[in-house]
Protein backbone atom coordinates (compact mmCIF):
# COMPACT_ATOMS: atom_id res chain seq x y z
CA UNK A 1 0.00 0.00 0.00
CA UNK A 2 1.31 3.45 -0.91
CA UNK A 3 1.25 6.20 1.70
CA UNK A 4 2.11 9.88 1.27
CA UNK A 5 5.78 10.61 1.97
CA UNK A 6 6.82 12.32 5.18
CA UNK A 7 8.80 15.25 3.71
CA UNK A 8 9.95 17.02 6.87
CA UNK A 9 13.18 17.08 8.84
CA UNK A 10 13.42 15.95 12.47
CA UNK A 11 12.52 19.14 14.38
CA UNK A 12 8.80 20.02 14.27
CA UNK A 13 7.78 23.12 16.23
CA UNK A 14 4.27 23.82 17.52
CA UNK A 15 2.95 27.36 17.08
CA UNK A 16 -0.51 28.61 18.17
CA UNK A 17 -2.59 29.34 15.08
CA UNK A 18 -3.97 32.48 16.73
CA UNK A 19 -0.45 33.98 16.81
CA UNK A 20 0.26 34.76 13.12
CA UNK A 21 3.13 37.01 14.18
CA UNK A 22 5.00 33.82 15.14
CA UNK A 23 4.32 31.72 12.03
CA UNK A 24 7.35 32.67 9.96
CA UNK A 25 9.68 32.80 12.96
CA UNK A 26 8.69 29.28 14.01
CA UNK A 27 9.15 27.98 10.49
CA UNK A 28 12.60 29.56 10.35
CA UNK A 29 13.70 27.93 13.61
CA UNK A 30 12.51 24.39 12.83
CA UNK A 31 12.27 21.96 9.93
CA UNK A 32 8.50 22.42 9.86
CA UNK A 33 5.98 24.38 11.89
CA UNK A 34 2.80 22.84 13.31
CA UNK A 35 0.17 25.58 13.27
CA UNK A 36 -2.07 24.49 16.12
CA UNK A 37 -5.85 24.95 16.06
CA UNK A 38 -6.34 22.58 19.00
CA UNK A 39 -4.88 22.73 22.53
CA UNK A 40 -2.88 25.94 22.02
CA UNK A 41 -6.05 27.90 21.16
CA UNK A 42 -8.79 28.73 23.65
CA UNK A 43 -12.35 27.69 22.81
CA UNK A 44 -13.36 31.31 22.37
CA UNK A 45 -10.49 31.98 19.97
CA UNK A 46 -10.97 29.03 17.57
CA UNK A 47 -12.78 31.04 14.90
CA UNK A 48 -10.22 33.85 14.96
CA UNK A 49 -7.40 31.32 14.75
CA UNK A 50 -8.89 29.83 11.58
CA UNK A 51 -9.14 33.27 10.01
CA UNK A 52 -5.52 33.96 10.95
CA UNK A 53 -4.52 30.69 9.30
CA UNK A 54 -6.21 31.75 6.06
CA UNK A 55 -5.09 35.36 6.09
CA UNK A 56 -1.39 34.79 6.86
CA UNK A 57 -0.02 32.18 4.45
CA UNK A 58 3.54 30.88 4.65
CA UNK A 59 5.36 28.21 2.62
CA UNK A 60 2.97 25.21 2.61
CA UNK A 61 5.87 22.83 2.07
CA UNK A 62 6.98 23.51 5.64
CA UNK A 63 3.61 23.61 7.39
CA UNK A 64 1.53 21.05 9.26
CA UNK A 65 -1.83 22.17 10.65
CA UNK A 66 -3.08 20.45 13.80
CA UNK A 67 -6.85 20.24 13.66
CA UNK A 68 -9.29 19.49 16.44
CA UNK A 69 -10.45 15.92 17.17
CA UNK A 70 -13.19 14.30 15.15
CA UNK A 71 -15.20 14.00 18.37
CA UNK A 72 -15.54 17.79 18.60
CA UNK A 73 -17.74 20.19 16.60
CA UNK A 74 -14.64 22.12 15.55
CA UNK A 75 -13.22 19.71 12.97
CA UNK A 76 -15.68 20.59 10.20
CA UNK A 77 -14.87 24.28 10.56
CA UNK A 78 -11.13 23.52 10.65
CA UNK A 79 -11.39 21.57 7.39
CA UNK A 80 -13.44 24.33 5.76
CA UNK A 81 -10.72 26.84 6.68
CA UNK A 82 -7.98 24.52 5.36
CA UNK A 83 -9.73 24.32 2.00
CA UNK A 84 -9.21 28.09 1.70
CA UNK A 85 -5.43 27.61 2.04
CA UNK A 86 -2.65 25.76 0.24
CA UNK A 87 -1.90 23.66 3.33
CA UNK A 88 -2.38 19.96 2.68
CA UNK A 89 -0.65 18.24 5.61
CA UNK A 90 -2.77 18.00 8.72
CA UNK A 91 -2.25 16.50 12.16
CA UNK A 92 -5.44 15.06 13.57
CA UNK A 93 -5.53 15.44 17.34
CA UNK A 94 -6.75 12.53 19.47
CA UNK A 95 -7.30 10.19 16.54
CA UNK A 96 -9.06 7.10 17.90
CA UNK A 97 -9.87 5.04 14.82
CA UNK A 98 -10.13 4.94 11.06
CA UNK A 99 -13.59 6.56 11.08
CA UNK A 100 -12.02 9.76 12.42
CA UNK A 101 -10.13 10.16 9.13
CA UNK A 102 -13.11 10.19 6.77
CA UNK A 103 -13.42 13.97 6.46
CA UNK A 104 -9.68 14.35 5.76
CA UNK A 105 -9.51 12.29 2.58
CA UNK A 106 -8.13 15.25 0.56
CA UNK A 107 -5.15 15.73 2.89
CA UNK A 108 -1.96 13.99 3.96
CA UNK A 109 -2.60 13.07 7.58
CA UNK A 110 -0.39 12.74 10.63
CA UNK A 111 -2.53 10.85 13.12
CA UNK A 112 -1.90 11.77 16.74
CA UNK A 113 -2.50 8.67 18.87
CA UNK A 114 -2.70 10.20 22.33
CA UNK A 115 -5.52 8.41 24.12
CA UNK A 116 -5.83 4.82 25.26
CA UNK A 117 -8.25 4.13 22.41
CA UNK A 118 -5.99 5.81 19.89
CA UNK A 119 -2.87 3.90 20.92
CA UNK A 120 -4.70 0.57 20.72
CA UNK A 121 -6.05 1.52 17.28
CA UNK A 122 -2.66 2.67 15.97
CA UNK A 123 -2.14 -0.33 13.63
CA UNK A 124 -5.52 0.19 11.95
CA UNK A 125 -4.98 3.94 11.70
CA UNK A 126 -1.55 3.46 10.14
CA UNK A 127 -3.05 1.24 7.44
CA UNK A 128 -5.21 4.04 5.99
CA UNK A 129 -3.71 5.25 2.69
CA UNK A 130 -3.91 8.99 3.46
CA UNK A 131 -1.80 8.59 6.63
CA UNK A 132 1.83 9.69 6.27
CA UNK A 133 2.85 9.43 9.93
CA UNK A 134 1.79 8.54 13.44
CA UNK A 135 2.64 10.61 16.50
CA UNK A 136 2.06 9.69 20.11
CA UNK A 137 1.42 11.95 23.09
CA UNK A 138 2.03 11.18 26.74
CA UNK A 139 0.01 13.79 28.60
CA UNK A 140 -3.36 13.24 26.94
CA UNK A 141 -2.76 9.49 27.12
CA UNK A 142 -2.30 9.53 30.88
CA UNK A 143 -5.27 11.89 31.26
CA UNK A 144 -7.41 9.45 29.24
CA UNK A 145 -6.47 6.75 31.76
CA UNK A 146 -7.43 8.91 34.71
CA UNK A 147 -3.79 9.39 35.73
CA UNK A 148 -1.99 12.50 36.87
CA UNK A 149 1.59 12.23 35.61
CA UNK A 150 3.31 10.61 32.63
CA UNK A 151 6.77 10.74 34.21
CA UNK A 152 8.55 9.68 37.38
CA UNK A 153 10.01 12.44 39.58
CA UNK A 154 13.41 11.92 37.95
CA UNK A 155 11.93 12.68 34.51
CA UNK A 156 11.73 9.12 33.16
CA UNK A 157 8.51 8.11 31.45
CA UNK A 158 6.26 5.76 33.41
CA UNK A 159 5.84 2.29 31.92
CA UNK A 160 2.47 2.90 30.27
CA UNK A 161 3.87 5.90 28.39
CA UNK A 162 6.90 3.87 27.26
CA UNK A 163 4.57 1.12 26.10
CA UNK A 164 2.47 3.58 24.09
CA UNK A 165 5.59 5.04 22.50
CA UNK A 166 6.70 1.58 21.41
CA UNK A 167 3.22 0.61 20.22
CA UNK A 168 2.92 3.66 17.96
CA UNK A 169 6.45 3.22 16.60
CA UNK A 170 5.79 -0.45 15.80
CA UNK A 171 2.45 0.33 14.15
CA UNK A 172 4.06 3.01 11.99
CA UNK A 173 6.94 0.75 11.00
CA UNK A 174 4.65 -2.16 10.19
CA UNK A 175 2.73 -0.04 7.68
CA UNK A 176 5.61 1.93 6.21
CA UNK A 177 4.74 5.34 7.62
CA UNK A 178 6.86 7.72 9.69
CA UNK A 179 6.73 7.92 13.49
CA UNK A 180 7.01 11.17 15.44
CA UNK A 181 8.12 11.30 19.06
CA UNK A 182 6.24 13.26 21.72
CA UNK A 183 7.08 16.71 23.05
CA UNK A 184 9.40 17.27 26.01
CA UNK A 185 7.61 19.78 28.22
CA UNK A 186 10.44 20.59 30.65
CA UNK A 187 11.96 23.55 28.82
CA UNK A 188 14.96 23.74 31.15
CA UNK A 189 15.87 20.09 30.66
CA UNK A 190 17.93 20.25 27.47
CA UNK A 191 19.89 17.16 28.51
CA UNK A 192 16.71 15.13 28.91
CA UNK A 193 15.40 16.31 25.57
CA UNK A 194 18.71 15.46 23.90
CA UNK A 195 18.73 11.96 25.40
CA UNK A 196 15.15 11.27 24.33
CA UNK A 197 15.77 12.59 20.81
CA UNK A 198 18.95 10.53 20.45
CA UNK A 199 17.00 7.46 21.57
CA UNK A 200 14.19 8.29 19.13
CA UNK A 201 16.63 8.60 16.22
CA UNK A 202 18.34 5.33 17.15
CA UNK A 203 14.99 3.51 17.20
CA UNK A 204 13.79 4.85 13.85
CA UNK A 205 11.54 7.80 14.69
CA UNK A 206 11.55 10.32 11.85
CA UNK A 207 11.05 13.43 13.99
CA UNK A 208 10.46 14.86 17.45
CA UNK A 209 7.91 17.56 18.17
CA UNK A 210 9.03 20.71 20.01
CA UNK A 211 7.13 23.27 22.08
CA UNK A 212 9.82 25.99 22.18
CA UNK A 213 12.12 27.34 19.46
CA UNK A 214 15.15 26.64 21.63
CA UNK A 215 14.43 22.90 21.46
CA UNK A 216 14.67 22.66 17.67
CA UNK A 217 18.45 22.73 17.35
CA UNK A 218 18.84 20.26 20.23
CA UNK A 219 16.60 17.85 18.32
CA UNK A 220 18.39 18.41 15.02
CA UNK A 221 21.75 17.72 16.60
CA UNK A 222 20.43 14.61 18.32
CA UNK A 223 19.12 13.15 15.06
CA UNK A 224 22.37 13.81 13.19
CA UNK A 225 24.66 10.76 13.44
CA UNK A 226 27.98 11.34 15.16
CA UNK A 227 31.11 11.53 13.04
CA UNK A 228 32.15 8.15 14.41
CA UNK A 229 28.81 6.52 13.59
CA UNK A 230 28.80 8.04 10.11
CA UNK A 231 32.34 6.79 9.43
CA UNK A 232 31.31 3.31 10.61
CA UNK A 233 28.32 3.28 8.25
CA UNK A 234 30.36 4.48 5.30
CA UNK A 235 33.13 1.95 5.92
CA UNK A 236 30.73 -0.93 6.51
CA UNK A 237 28.81 -0.31 3.30
CA UNK A 238 32.05 0.09 1.36
CA UNK A 239 33.24 -3.25 2.73
CA UNK A 240 29.91 -4.87 1.83
CA UNK A 241 30.17 -3.52 -1.71
CA UNK A 242 33.67 -4.95 -2.05
CA UNK A 243 32.43 -8.31 -0.78
CA UNK A 244 29.32 -8.42 -2.96
CA UNK A 245 27.94 -11.94 -2.96
CA UNK A 246 29.82 -13.01 0.18
CA UNK A 247 26.77 -12.98 2.47
CA UNK A 248 27.64 -12.79 6.17
CA UNK A 249 31.10 -11.40 6.96
CA UNK A 250 33.13 -10.02 9.86
CA UNK A 251 33.77 -6.28 10.16
CA UNK A 252 35.74 -4.72 13.00
CA UNK A 253 35.08 -7.71 15.21
CA UNK A 254 31.35 -7.82 14.54
CA UNK A 255 29.38 -10.27 12.41
CA UNK A 256 27.52 -8.41 9.67
CA UNK A 257 24.40 -9.53 7.84
CA UNK A 258 21.47 -7.81 6.10
CA UNK A 259 19.88 -6.14 9.18
CA UNK A 260 23.15 -4.44 10.12
CA UNK A 261 23.56 -3.19 6.55
CA UNK A 262 20.08 -1.69 6.69
CA UNK A 263 21.02 0.06 9.93
CA UNK A 264 24.10 1.53 8.23
CA UNK A 265 21.93 2.74 5.36
CA UNK A 266 19.59 4.39 7.88
CA UNK A 267 22.55 6.25 9.40
CA UNK A 268 23.43 7.63 5.97
CA UNK A 269 19.83 8.69 5.35
CA UNK A 270 19.84 10.61 8.62
CA UNK A 271 23.07 12.33 7.63
CA UNK A 272 21.69 13.28 4.23
CA UNK A 273 18.44 14.59 5.67
CA UNK A 274 20.37 16.96 7.92
CA UNK A 275 23.05 18.20 5.54
CA UNK A 276 21.99 17.28 2.03
CA UNK A 277 25.32 15.50 1.63
CA UNK A 278 25.66 11.92 0.41
CA UNK A 279 27.65 10.34 3.21
CA UNK A 280 29.20 7.76 0.90
CA UNK A 281 30.62 10.21 -1.62
CA UNK A 282 30.73 13.55 0.10
CA UNK A 283 28.95 15.19 -2.84
CA UNK A 284 25.71 17.10 -3.06
Q: Which residues are annotated as a binding site?
A: 66, 114, 140
Quick one: how far is CA 70 from the chain centroid? 20
Quick one: how far is CA 242 from the chain centroid? 36
Characterize 85-102 residue by residue with b for buried, 16 or more Cβ atoms within 10 angstroms of its Cβ, and e for exposed. bebbbbbbbbbbeeebbe
Strands (DSSP E) found in 63-127: 63-67, 89-92, 108-113
DSSP 151: B
- In 3D, which of 173, 171, 182 has the Cα closest to residue 207? 182
Distance between CA 49 and CA 58 in Å, rounded?
15
Name the CA dihedral angle for 140, 143, 147, 149, rounded to a multiple of 10 degrees: 40
**Which sign does the torsion angle of CA 129, 32, 46, 44 carry?**
positive
Q: Which residues define the annotated binding site for Mg(2+)?
A: 114, 140
Distance between CA 2 and CA 4 in Å, rounded?
7
Phi, psi values for residue 30, rounded to 5°: -125, 180
Q: Which residues define the annotated binding site for substrate?
A: 66, 114
Q: Exposed, middle or buried by CB within 10 Å (0-12, 13-18, 19+), for 249?
A: middle
Amino acid sequence: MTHPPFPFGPALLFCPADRPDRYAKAADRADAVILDLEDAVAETAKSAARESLVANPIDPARVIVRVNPASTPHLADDVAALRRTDYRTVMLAKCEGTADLVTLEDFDVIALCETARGVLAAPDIASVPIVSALMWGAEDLVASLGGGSSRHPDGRYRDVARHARSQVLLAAGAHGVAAIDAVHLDLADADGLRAEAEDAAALGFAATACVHPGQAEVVRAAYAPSAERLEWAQALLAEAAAREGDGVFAFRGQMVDAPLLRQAEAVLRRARSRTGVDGRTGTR
